[in-house]
Structure 1
Amino acid sequence: MRGMVSVTRFAPSPTGRLHLGHALSAVRAHDLARAGGGRFLLRIEDIDGTRSRPEHVETILRDLAWLGLEWDELSFQSERLALYAAAQARLGDLLYPCFCTRAAIAASLSAPHGPVAAYPGTCRSLSAQARAARIHEPHGWRIDIARAVDRVGPLDWRDDQAGTIAADPLRHGDVILARKDAPASYHLAVTVDDAAQGVTDVVRGRDLFEATHVHRLLQALLRLPTPLYHHHPLIVGGDGQRLAKRHGAPALAAMREAGEDGHALADALRRNMLPAGFRLGEA
């Protein structure tokens, strides 16, 4: 893969305003592509029908322009649903319907399983007759992760900082690939989209490092290429907690509307210089 022109992407969800952490990812992805004459893609991940808002899309576009970033292609996941349905069909017998609510799953877990609380497999053991009898009920689709791993054998992937990583999707349990309220989960959609759009380098925060184990498995099952990953440190506040929309992280839009210089902010991020009260967390 090295020696190829880099194709990168920034893929925000229009569920709230962008913050400094998003700016860092966008700047790094943009600059990696531009350094070698490559392409920088903007993909709006808008298939969370309960939280996505059209007004946030316009704000995202304004924020990125304010930072001085230009993209070569703009796409929307909501226009790519047929790709996710085709991928789900290809996974076929590895998927099973799950009727469990989040509350029921939480109640069934007495202790965490690895880095995430793995699904205990409640619906995996349902008979074909039981599934058929309940299929009219609201449900998602999970992948039988153990069977999937057995099918493809050992896998690895590369991170530009961590080196070669042995994929270990088993630690995540039977993850959801399609939800009751969305046609594809993050895991399935991002894997399919990156391959379909020819993304060679994935730039994203360190908080998504563990998700790559699942993405590598899906790439193998669907016979898709594996990009090089660039997981960067997260920006944290004075309390050491990572920035997040739900925690009221300072919005880029607020900075923009206050008259701050977006180009200057982007240049500062390139030098790992952050506004007062913020710092980069552990790599």
Structure 2
Amino acid sequence: MPATPKNASQDSRAQPNAELGQSNSLPAKPYLRGRFAPSPSGPLHFGSLVAAVGSYLIAKYYGAEWQVRIEDIDPPREIEGAADTILRQLEAFGLHWDGPIIYQSESIPRFNEILEELKQQDLLYACDCTRKKINKLSEDGRYPNICQDKNLSFDGEVAWKLRHRQDDYHFYDQIQGQCEFETSLYREDFTVKRKDGLMAYQLAVVVDDINAGIDHVVRGIDLLDSTPRQLRLYQVLGKPAPLWYHLPLAINDDGNKLSKQNHAPSIDSQNPSKQLHQAIAFLGQKPPVALRQEAPEIIIDWAVEHFSLESIPRQQQIPYFD
């Protein structure tokens, strides 16, 4: 689960950090481009369907493009054929993307260019710490920046860390309200290239969103505490941050997030209308019961026409019962 914000305003609109490009006003129609970015580690389940539907509805309500990006830069976690399965599932549920499919692996040369630029600016350092060592030295499990002055070589089995400047990377979320976190999160230097040589999520997602012109990021609230790190990356790359929308998570009977790791069942592409209706209702949109009998495209059309951002629950978790 995500870290709980120190302050998450449940009132109308709190003033965000203007320096980091945040806005507390709803965007005027239209904005440019949103996206859904699944990893090919298995088929979509109900939780990922909620994220896909939420990002699609917000994009289409504002007259924007909706891009699909396959985040295929972690081969050990990928399942053969999963990317194609995900795309067929989206089509079956009436979620049709704009433009070509983006594959994150094609951006690896660009990621390396960015890393070299950050290294030249002395914004990166190498770290050879193990998780066991970090846990021994840290009471809260956060990395205590112990390698920042060691001048270790970037060669070999080391993680590349970005210096996380002592700013307050609070932000305004268009669903959850004003979000501020414990100081330890703002002070923790974080990984942009892993020990195994693979690109870290934080770097890859920000660079890809910048390259694609993504100006509205809609995703699950389990990624809420990734946002301060990503704001730091927007800062060092000199780019304006997008608007943020963090959706509540679907949880199972045991109180755990629906996820591939928790063996959440795949959505049913042969009979999509019921679960599509459930996903829209999960987002607080109150679709008529009769819509369950309609084709996915009709359900989606209704949801776009009647969409209300204010109706999305400001919660971290919502139980899902099939």
- TM-score, structure 2 normalization: 0.73
Partner of 2:35, secondary structure, is: strand
Query: Counterpart in 1 of 2:212?
Result: 197
- Correspondences of 1:268-283 after superposition (within 5 Å): 268-272=278-282, 282=317
Partner of 1:43, secondary structure, is: strand
Q: Are residues 1:48 and 2:74 paired?
A: yes
Note the C-alpha offset of 1:144. 2.1
Query: Counterpart in 2 of 1:87?
Result: 114
Partner of 2:282, secondary structure, is: coil
Q: Are residues 1:144 and 2:159 paired?
A: no
Q: 1:273 to 1:167 in 2, by over 3 A?
A: closer
Kept in 2: contact 1:240–1:281 (CA 8 A) = no
Kept in 2: contact 1:157–1:164 (CA 8 A) = yes
Q: 1:166 to 1:239 in 2, by over 3 A?
A: closer
Kept in 1: contact 2:163–2:189 (CA 8 A) = yes
Kept in 2: contact 1:95–1:142 (CA 8 A) = yes
Q: Are residues 1:185 and 2:211 paired?
A: no
Q: 1:228 to 1:273 in 2, by over 3 A?
A: closer
Query: Counterpart in 1 of 2:3?
Result: none
- Correspondences of 1:1-283 after superposition (within 5 Å): 2-3=27-28, 4-73=30-99, 74-92=101-119, 93-109=122-138, 111-112=139-140, 117-126=141-150, 128=151, 131-132=152-153, 135-145=154-164, 148-149=165-166, 153-166=167-180, 170-171=184-185, 173-252=188-267, 255-256=268-269, 259=270, 261-272=271-282, 282=317
Note the C-alpha offset of 1:100. 2.2
Q: 1:273 to 1:211 in 2, by over 3 A?
A: closer
Hey, what's the Cα distance between the residues in 1 that align with 2:159 and 2:283? 43
Aligned length: 259
Note the C-alpha offset of 1:65. 1.2
* Amino acid in the other structure paired with 1:100: C
* Amino acid in the other structure paired with 1:57: A
Partner of 1:176, secondary structure, is: strand
After superposition, the C-alpha distances for 1:42-91 in whole angstroms (9 at most, x for unaligned) are 00111112222341111111111121110113101100012212222232
Note the C-alpha offset of 1:271. 1.8
Note the C-alpha offset of 1:28. 0.9
Query: Counterpart in 2 of 1:277?
Result: none
Partner of 2:160, secondary structure, is: strand
Hey, what's the Cα distance between the residues in 2 that align with 1:12 and 1:195? 17
Note the C-alpha offset of 1:211. 0.7
More helix by share: 1
Kept in 1: contact 2:124–2:160 (CA 8 A) = yes
Kept in 2: contact 1:67–1:262 (CA 8 A) = yes
Note the C-alpha offset of 1:7. 1.4
Partner of 1:85, secondary structure, is: helix
* Amino acid in the other structure paired with 1:98: C
Hey, what's the Cα distance between the residues in 1 that align with 2:215 and 2:91? 24
Q: RMSD of aligned C-alpha atoms?
A: 2.5
Q: For structure 1, list consecutive stretches of 5 or more residues without a partner in the other structure.
A: 275-279
Note the C-alpha offset of 1:17. 2.4
